[in-house]
Structure formats: C-alpha cells, structure tokens
Amino acid sequence: MIKIGVSGALGRMGKRVINLAKNEKDLEVVFGLEKKGHPEIGKIFEGVKIVENPEEIEKCDCLVEFSTPEATLEHLSYLVKFKRCAVIGTTGFSQEEIEKIKEASQNIGIVFSPNMSISVNLFFKLIKETAKILKGYKVYIEEAHHVHKKDAPSGTAKKIAEILNKYGFGIKIEDIKAIRKNEITGDHKVIFESNFDKLELFHSAKTRDIFAQGALLAARWIVEKEAGLYSMEDVLFLE
C-alpha cells in the first residue's frame, strides 16, 4: 500500500485526487494538507483528515502537490528532511523557484510537470515531432481556462513554447494567447502555418480527472525511483 499525502487538498485538483485515490486498492490518502488557518482544518473530507502542519509529510510515501508555488517550496524542506518523494503539479513558478525544486531533487525523487494528463503528454510528443519537420512554418499557441485560474499563460502553454523553442521557433511568453472564460477545464491549440497550408494540433480536457489520474500514476512510479528530477514523459516512457 502506497501512502499518499495531498497538498492543496481542498482545491479543485486536490479534491479530485482524493476522490480518485479512494477507489484504488494500492493507494491510501493519509492526510490532506492545507494552508494554516484554513476553516476546514481538523475536519474530514472523503474520509481524509485535513491538516495544516507540514510535519505530517513524514506519514506519507509521496506528497502530491496541487497548491501554490509558495506552499510547494515550503514543503520541499520537509520532503528532504523525511526523505519523501513528490509529484508536483503546481504551476506558476519563476525560474528561480524551479531551481529550488531542482536542488531538492538531488536528495529525493520528484516528478515535476505542468500537466499530469497522459493525453496532454502525448500531445507534447506530437508537437515535438511536428516541430522537427515543419521548421519553416510560423507557429501560434492559444490556451483557454476557467476564470479562477490564477496564472496566465498556463504552465502547459509555457511547456509547449519551451518544446517549440528547442527547434528554433523563438516563441515568447507574451506571444501566447491566453483566455480566461467561464468554467473551461483546459484547452490548448498549436497552429503551424505557411503560405500554403495550416496544421492545427488541439487538446481539450473535459474534466480535471485526467490530471488527477496522471498524478496518481506518477506517484506509483516515483516511489520506486532514485533521487532525481523527472517529468511525465519519463513516467510514460515518451522520451
């Protein structure tokens, strides 16, 4: 039995991770971690106690993070202290903050990905293969999410830009079209265009469960690995 802790437990993603995990025979959610002073501290959500003390991290084998950059970075020191691995799905990190995650991964195993969805990571693979071939094309990135999403553009869109820039496309963050509207779970489109034709690659998430499922898959995978920084491409053997 793999013991899971969920950080950001009462957020949109945290709730879905807890709900899906309770139906998995090999997983047990041993606590839900929330920020200090949260009104639900000490209460039970879907059979899981909500706590505020990061010392609780010692009780889990793997911490699944869907919180804030600030909370995630705070928890890193506890993860290293207790030698616990992590799956980080939190987005909105600065480059300096990402370096701190890399530093922690020298001591513990971390899966760090802006998007835990299995199909989105296949989407990344398709973008990579297309970029190798259509080098003379202009490329545009568009993304749309619900109005509650704090960071824009999304971590997924930034990852797409990173992939494209490895092949010389020179995409800047400000070039990404980001839409915040209604309750859109997550749409991403990449457009390759020339004077002769246009190719569009599109992914649309119907529910948040695709991200939660991927996070649980990553948790199962990382508990067996040595210290290091891994991506969902590693988990899915897409590299």
Tokens of 132: 């190798």
Residue 239, pLDDT above cutoff 70: no
178 has a pLDDT exceeding 60: yes
Task: Dump pLDDT digits (tens) for 62-116.
Answer: 999 999 999 999 999 999 999 999 999 998 899 999 999 999 999 999 999 988 9
Cα–Cα distance between 217 and 221 in angstroms, integer? 6
Q: How far is CA 42 from CA 4, 20, 39, 49, 57, in A?
A: 18, 21, 9, 6, 16
- Same-domain status, 60 and 136: no
Which domain, by its residues, includes 52? 2-116+209-235
Tell me which of 15, 75, 149, 203 is the catalytic residue: 149
First-last CA distance in the chain: 29
> Based on the domain organization, do 130 and 109 belong to the same domain?
no
CA distances from 88 to 115, 175, 206 (A): 10, 26, 21
Are residues 174 and 58 part of one domain?
no
Catalytic residue among 15, 145, 188, 203: 145
Q: Are residues 43 and 98 in the same domain?
A: yes
Q: Chain-centre distance of CA 105, in angstroms?
A: 16
Model confidence band, residue 238 (pLDDT cutoffs 50, 70, 90):
low
Q: Is residue 181 annotated as a catalytic residue, yes or no?
A: no
203 catalytic residue (yes or no)? no
Q: What is the mean pLDDT of the chain?
A: 96
Asked whether residue 24 falls in the same domain as residue 106, the answer is: yes
* 107-160: pLDDT as tens digits: 999 999 988 999 999 999 999 999 999 999 999 999 999 999 988 999 999 999
Residue 31 CA to residue 79 CA, distance in Å, equals 15
45-65: per-residue pLDDT in tens? 999 999 999 999 999 999 999
Residue 156 sits in the same domain as residue 229: no
Residues 134, 187 within the same domain: yes
pTM for this one?
0.84
The residue type at 50:
I
What total of structural domains would you count in the chain?
2
Specify whether 12 is located in the same domain as 83.
yes
Is residue 144 domain-shared with residue 226, that is, in the same domain? no
165 shares its domain with 181: yes
Are residues 115 and 121 in contact, defined by beta-carbon separation less than 8 angstroms? Answer: yes
